[in-house]
């Protein structure tokens, strides 16, 4: 039984109650309206008609089963709303509802249709043909065509614009429209993760030729922008012509900006917002004890990375790297810093959620500060090692730094913790320069991303400056092979290398912590909160 049939069924039962004298006609009409039926339709049921017919004058008006209600979501403050440059949760959250991706990623990390309703890949893995959904319209009323998709992706890979996606799409040889509603991507080398690349956070489809993408807000997405007040809020209304049936479920979406996550949580407790998509661990633990609030923790592939530069002293000495690893108690860090929420890490970005790729074949040596001290002495540091540890002030990272300082002190490693605002830590690429740092890496649906941008020689964000020929060869194999078994083998070897000699420590994978008020239906947390689908939530 579909929802409208259900409503009709309830109404017909209520009609029996009216006829039996157990319910007033006024109460019956109120029930009909509450169920989303018009007064006229309710009256028709009351009069005995089995199927309410449309009202004569109701052509363009909202349908009885249309979106209803208002959802208020707390968010951090967005800065950049051009999809090609946006990166934060707050920015992607807004854009994900104003625009559409070609394909999307579900909570289980599977590729699912969005603007592209189906796709095929050639046998050699070099040609992808995606067919667009029918009846897709931009908010200005113009229809979506393949030309819009071609324009969008050509913009994203245009090196002259210096967009962060140029590297990601460097493997694309050509993009062409195949008629009005199909697009063909031709690659230079096979990429088994290409569909995931098409769902990159920046890859929201724009209207071809748009000149001001940061302010135009002319998308095909489930919501239209009504009003955007910088650093305050953005109000959105349902896109009535949205192509996906049943979406959006709500008529109005308000995304309210908070500079402080504690304030956002207070707003949830006070009833000023309905949903908070992410928060620090202690606030989450506080909400777990709050009546009327539903807390949701979702495991993710995101992690905090402790890394030492491997291209200069002292990180270029393998014994120093081994000493840091031996001095670290990952289990204790997980308990102290993350309160046991998430998963313990194994110094590799390939976490337990990447089920087949994840391996525990290579054991992590148990913590041994004395052995670490001996290794440092062998490396030429008999009196210990003194290092500055740079850490951004976001999340639980300062606590991680403090716990590491205490643990490493036992091995003779004296850490000077320097907590910096994120803007300072990442500003002028300082995070790529410092010897010892802690960087947060958000969750991605496939592990290859981390290897390609963070660990292969010369990678754009290779903050540890790690360079290992065996690792690079394995990463290249995993990136290009169409043989899944071969990729699994490569990923397992990669994990062994990183545990044995990688200049990185990954003490934990964090959980995505969110909370909403009771009565919200349909909320599914995503590992990257900005990609949460608010269009399916009903209030």
293 binds another protein (CB under 8 A): no
User: Are 249 and 46 within 8 A, CB to CB?
Assistant: no
4/285 with CB nearer another protein: 285
CB 462 within 8 A of CB 456: yes
Residue nearer to another protein on the CB measure, 341 or 418: 418
> In the set 154, 286, 295, 316, which binds another protein (CB under 8 A)?
286
Q: How far is the CB of 287 from another protein (least distance, A)?
A: 9
| Closer residue to another protein (CB): 267 or 418 | 418
Nearer to another protein, 76 or 197 (CB): 76
- Among 44, 411, 94, 128, CA closest to 230: 94
- Interacting residues with another protein between 296 and 335 (CB under 8 A): 332, 335
| Min separation Cβ 15 and another protein, Å | 50
Of 64-103, binders to another protein (CB under 8 A) are: none
CB 399 → another protein: shortest distance, Å? 7
Ramachandran area for residue 11 (φ above 0: left; ψ -120 to 50: alpha; else beta): alpha
Both tokens of 103, joined, read: 């394909």
Dihedral in degrees, nearest 10, Cα atoms 320, 326, 327, 332: 150
Handedness of CA 202, 207, 209, 210 (dihedral sign): negative
To another protein, the closest distance from the beta carbon of 351 in angstroms equals 23
Output 227 or 406, the one with its CB closest to another protein: 406
Q: For the chain, count helices (H), then strands (E).
A: 17, 18
Site for another protein in 373-412 (CB under 8 A): 393, 398-399, 401-403, 405-406
Closer by beta carbon to another protein, 292 or else 382? 292
CA 360 to chain CA centroid, Å, is 26
DSSP per-residue codes, 187-222: ESS--TTHHHHHT-TT-BPPPTT-S-HHHH----SS
Q: What is the dihedral of CA 276, 280, 284, 287, to 10 degrees?
A: -70
* Closer of 331 and 477 to another protein (Cβ): 331
Residues in 417-446 that interact with another protein by CB under 8 A: 417-419, 421
Tokens 């402790």 label which residue? 306
> Taking contact as CB under 8 A, which single stretch among the options 10-18, 65-73, 366-374, 415-423 is the one that binds another protein?
415-423
CA 29 – CA 44 distance, rounded (Å): 11
Which C-beta is closer to another protein: that of 58 or that of 418?
418
Distance CA 315, CA 308 (A): 6
Binding another protein by CB under 8 A: which of 2, 57, 110, 289? 289
Residues in contact with another protein by CB under 8 A are 261-262, 280, 282-283, 285-286, 289, 332, 335-336, 393, 398-399, 401-403, 405-406, 416-419, 421
């Amino acid at each position: 039984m579909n929802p409208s049939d259900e409503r009709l069924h309830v109404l017909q039962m209520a009609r029996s109650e009216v006829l039996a004298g157990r319910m007033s006609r006024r109460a019956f009409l109120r029930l009909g309206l509450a169920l989303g039926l018009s007064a006229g339709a309710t009256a028709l049921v009351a009069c005995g008609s089995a199927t309410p017919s449309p009202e004569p004058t109701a052509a363009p008006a909202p349908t009885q089963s249309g979106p209803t209600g208002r959802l208020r979501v707390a968010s951090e403050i967005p800065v950049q709303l051009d999809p090609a440059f946006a990166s934060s949760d707050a920015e992607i959250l807004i854009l994900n509802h104003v625009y559409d991706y070609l394909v999307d990623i579900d909570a289980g990390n599977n590729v699912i249709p969005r603007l592209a309703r189906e796709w095929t890949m050639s046998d050699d893995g070099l040609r992808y043909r995606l067919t667009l959904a029918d009846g897709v319209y931009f908010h200005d009323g113009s229809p979506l065509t393949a030309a819009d998709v071609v324009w969008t992706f050509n913009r994203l890979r245009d090196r002259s614009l210096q967009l962060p996606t140029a590297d990601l799409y460097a493997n694309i040889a050509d993009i062409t429209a195949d008629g009005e509603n199909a697009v063909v991507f031709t690659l230079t080398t096979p990429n088994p993760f290409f569909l995931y690349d098409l769902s990159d956070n920046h890859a929201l489809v724009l209207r071809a030729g748009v000149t001001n993408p940061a302010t135009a807000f002319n998308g095909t997405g489930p919501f239209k922008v009504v009003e955007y007040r910088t650093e305050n809020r953005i109000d959105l209304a349902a896109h009535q012509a949205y192509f996906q049936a049943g979406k959006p479920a709500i008529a109005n979406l308000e995304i309210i900006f908070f500079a402080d996550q504690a304030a956002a949580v207070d707003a949830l407790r006070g009833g000023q917002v309905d949903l908070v998509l992410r928060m620090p661990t202690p606030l989450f633990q506080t909400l777990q004890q709050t009546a009327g609030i539903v807390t949701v923790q979702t495991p993710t592939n995101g992690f905090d990375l402790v890394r030492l530069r491997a291209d200069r002293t002292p990180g270029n000495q393998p014994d120093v790297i081994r000493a840091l690893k031996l001095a670290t108690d990952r289990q204790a860090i997980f308990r102290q810093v993350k309160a046991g929420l998430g998963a313990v890490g194994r110094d590799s970005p390939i976490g337990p959620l990447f089920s087949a790729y994840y391996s525990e074949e290579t054991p992590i040596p148990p913590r041994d500060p004395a052995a670490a001290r001996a290794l440092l002495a062998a490396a030429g540091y008999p009196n210990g090692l003194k290092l500055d540890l740079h850490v951004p002030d976001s999340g639980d990272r300062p606590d991680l730094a403090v716990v590491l300082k205490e643990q490493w002190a036992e091995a003779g490693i004296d850490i000077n913790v320097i907590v910096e605002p994120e803007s300072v830590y990442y500003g002028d690429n300082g995070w790529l320069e410092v010897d010892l740092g802690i960087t947060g890496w958000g969750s991605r649906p496939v592990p290859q991303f981390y290897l390609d941008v963070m660990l292969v020689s010369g990678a754009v964000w290779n903050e540890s400056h790690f360079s290992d020929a065996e690792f690079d060869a394995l990463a290249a194999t995993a990136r290009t092979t169409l043989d899944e078994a071969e990729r699994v083998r490569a990923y397992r070897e990669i994990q062994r290398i990183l545990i044995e000699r990688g200049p990185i420590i990954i003490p934990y994978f964090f959980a995505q912590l969110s909370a909403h008020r009771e009565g919200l239906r349909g909320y599914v947390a995503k590992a990257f909160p900005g990609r949460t689908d608010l269009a399916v939530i009903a209030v």
